[in-house]
Amino acid sequence: MIDVKDILIRFEDHVVLSGVSLHVPKGSAVVILGRSGVGKSVLLKSIVGLLTPEKGSIRVMGQEVIGMKPAQLNKLRKHFGYVFQYAALFDSMTVRENLEFPLRRHAALSEEEITARVEEQLKLVDLLDAIDKMPSELSGGMKKRIGLARAIITRPDIVFYDEPTAGLDPVTAREISKLIHELEGRFGTTSVTVTHDLECARIVATRICILHDRRIVEEGTFDEMLRSEYPLTRAFFQPEIA
Amino acid sequence: MNGHSRGIDQFSAGMRKGFEDVYDLSVFTLRFFTSVFKAPFELGEVRKHLDDLGAKSLPLVSMVGFIMGLILAMQTRPTLDRFGAGSYLPAMIALSIVRELGPVITALIVAGRVSSGIAAEVGSMRVTEQIDALEVNGVDPYKYLVVTRVVACTIMMPLITAYVDFLAILGGYVAETITYTSSFQLYFTDVINSLTFFDIIPGVAKTAVFGFIIGIIGSYKGFTADSGTRGVGRAATAAVVYASLHIIFVDMILVRLTLYIFG
């Protein structure tokens, strides 16, 4: 479903990613683990076309993203959902309007259907009471849930999660991770999650990739990672040994 | 490195940054003309901004317009009286307000309120990834955020200016009435008789250009805001400064052009 091959991204003289390759099969939940500032979010933003690599190839659903015309890219993005690190809710809109936004853009639904879909999504994330609130009235955890609801409201084929549990307390972080896992099971979406939260990776991932030193250095299942000898992977998975 | 060569380096770096800024702003502005006639037209957003940027500016510009006319009349009357030309006051107020003071003062006031508001709003959307969220939702952020605001400012400015012109002339009448008990009918007959088509249309039409400047500079500064709240604050301040300077500079050119065309 997603094939990233040998991409290079740099900002001025600073090389962020070099020789990164990644394969995400349909229906899988790939988690990219790595230390802060290693370029996880940059990789995610390149896949959805928000950043353009200098070289390499990114194919999503059979289409090359690099060099794609804006109109084509916007068409392809209709198949994506994206949960931003700080939710990125439109702060001039209510929760209802935030959720309606992608539906009004991409789905040919009647007003009744839009209202029903918005309420259904809010029930899924247990925030129906917040429907008429502004984002500024919500807590960090609530914003993440609404961001999640907005990302999946159009039933996208692929959902990208950028640090879905960052800045949350462990209990809320676990709830969010479980919610992601539950929603993926329910809607059968393919997902790519970037995080440095091991608990989130354990709950969500079918496969884990370790991003380090500008490239993917190791990948495997959670259990395989537990047995890894690679120093950074050990530092993540067996901190008491490392 | 001594202080002299460091100063030269700083100056050349500043010049380079200035030229880069002019280039980027030109590209940003040209993009408006290639985007504005392409669907989707986001009319709902334009309507929303007409209200936000235009109607909500009315209390401020009303006050400024009325007081501007009042002060102009109070300041001018003694001078005109000295030359025995007191009866020309309504014509003098009407011509100076409609031709120059109304459009420029209104544009500067609106630039202070609207341009900084646009820069702060768009800038904070940039730093909180809301612009990325628009893109991921398949929306062209330039069309959605910039084109709609620039169109709204361009439409709204001539309407606001016409309204301010009227209030300023009314303010002049109030000043006259307080001191000289002038007749309402006589004052406004003099005003109407003194104005021609060539005074009103260029004066109001140039405010469409000022509206465009206010919208495009506010949006540009917001779009290019550095990350963090400090970057947003800087963008808002820079938007007011740049927009005000551009308004005065463009006004100078338009005055010359108007005189050349209409005499």
pLDDT at residue B238, rounded to an integer:
94
Q: In whole angstroms, what is the distance from residue A43 CA to residue B93 CA?
A: 63
Quick check: bond before B40 cis, omega within 30? yes
DSSP designation for B112: I
Contact A160, A83 (CB under 8 A): yes
Measured between beta carbons, the chain A residues lying within 8 angstroms of B56 are none
B129 contacts A84? CB cut-off 8 A? yes
Nearest residue to A48 via CA among B228, B129, B145, B148: B129
Nearest residue to A204 via CA among A28, A26, A23, A24: A28
pLDDT at residue A106, rounded to an integer:
81
Nearest residue to A159 via CA among A184, A125, A124: A184
CB pairs under 8 A between A and B: 47
Measured between beta carbons, the chain A residues lying within 8 angstroms of B128 are 86, 88, 91
Query: What are the residues facing A167 on neighbouring strands?
Result: none
B138 contacts A82? CB cut-off 8 A? no
The answer, yes or no, to whether ipTM is higher than 0.90 is no
For testing contact with chain B, the best of A65, A74, A93, A134 (most B CBs within 10 A):
A74
Compute how many other C-beta atoms are within 10 angstroms of the C-beta atom of residue B222: 29
* Residue B88: its H or E element: none
Sign of torsion over alpha carbons B97, B98, B103, B104: negative
Q: What is the pLDDT of residues A157-210, one digit of tens each?
A: 999 999 988 878 888 888 889 988 988 888 889 999 999 888 999 999 999 999
* pTM listed for this prediction: 0.87
A88 contacts B138? CB cut-off 8 A? no
Q: In whole angstroms, what is the distance from residue B88 CA to residue B102 CA?
A: 19
pLDDT at residue B55, rounded to an integer:
83
Interior/surface letters A32-59, b for 16+ CB within 10 angstroms, e for the rest = bbbeeebbbbbbbbbbbbbbebeebebb
Q: Residue type at B61?
A: V
A77 contacts B130? CB cut-off 8 A? no
Residue spans of the domains in chain A: they are: 2-89+135-235
CA nearest to B129 within chain A: A88
Mean pLDDT along residues A105-128: 90
Q: Which candidate from B132, B138, B139 shows the least CB-CB separation from A84?
A: B132
Contact B139, B251 (CB under 8 A): no
Q: What is the pLDDT of residues A126-149, one digit of tens each?
A: 899 999 999 999 998 899 889 999
Confidence of residue A240 (pLDDT cuts 50, 70, 90): low
Taking 50 as the pLDDT cut, the residues of chain B under it are: none
B162, two tokens: 């016409």
Q: In whole angstroms, what is the distance from residue B164 CA to residue B247 CA?
A: 17
pLDDT at residue A102, rounded to an integer:
92
Mean pLDDT along residues A59-68: 93
Q: How many CA atoms lie within 13 A of A186 on its CB side?
A: 11
B136 contacts A50? CB cut-off 8 A? yes
Q: In whole angstroms, what is the distance from residue A226 CA to residue A232 CA?
A: 12
pLDDT at residue A12, rounded to an integer:
84
Confidence of residue A241 (pLDDT cuts 50, 70, 90): low
Q: Which candidate from A84, A92, A105 shows the least CB-CB separation from B138?
A: A105
Token pair 């250009």 is at which residue? B209
Measured between beta carbons, the chain B residues lying within 8 angstroms of A90 are 130, 133
The pLDDT of residue A17 is above 70: yes
Say what the alpha-carbon torsion angle B188, B193, B196, B200 is, to the nearest 10 degrees: -10
A214, two tokens: 């500008």
Measured between beta carbons, the chain B residues lying within 8 angstroms of A75 are 138
A90 contacts B133? CB cut-off 8 A? yes
Q: Residue type at B142?
A: Y
B128 contacts A86? CB cut-off 8 A? yes
- The alpha carbon of B199 is separated from its chain's Cα centroid by a whole number of angstroms, namely 19
For testing contact with chain A, the best of B137, B139, B148, B149 (most A CBs within 10 A):
B137
Q: In whole angstroms, what is the distance from residue A150 CA to residue A105 CA?
A: 13
pLDDT at residue A112, rounded to an integer:
93
Confidence of residue A117 (pLDDT cuts 50, 70, 90): very high
Q: Which candidate from A45, A77, A84 shows the least CB-CB separation from B138?
A: A77
- CATH for A2-89+135-235 is 3.40.50.300
Query: What are the residues facing A242 on neighbouring strands?
Result: none
pLDDT at residue B263, rounded to an integer:
67
Q: In whole angstroms, what is the distance from residue A128 CA to residue A95 CA?
A: 10
pLDDT at residue B1, rounded to an integer:
55
The pLDDT of residue A236 is above 60: yes
pLDDT at residue A171, rounded to an integer:
86
DSSP track, B10-67: HHHHHHHHHHHHHHHHHHHHHHHHHHTTSSP--HHHHHHHIIIIIGGGHHHHHHHHHH
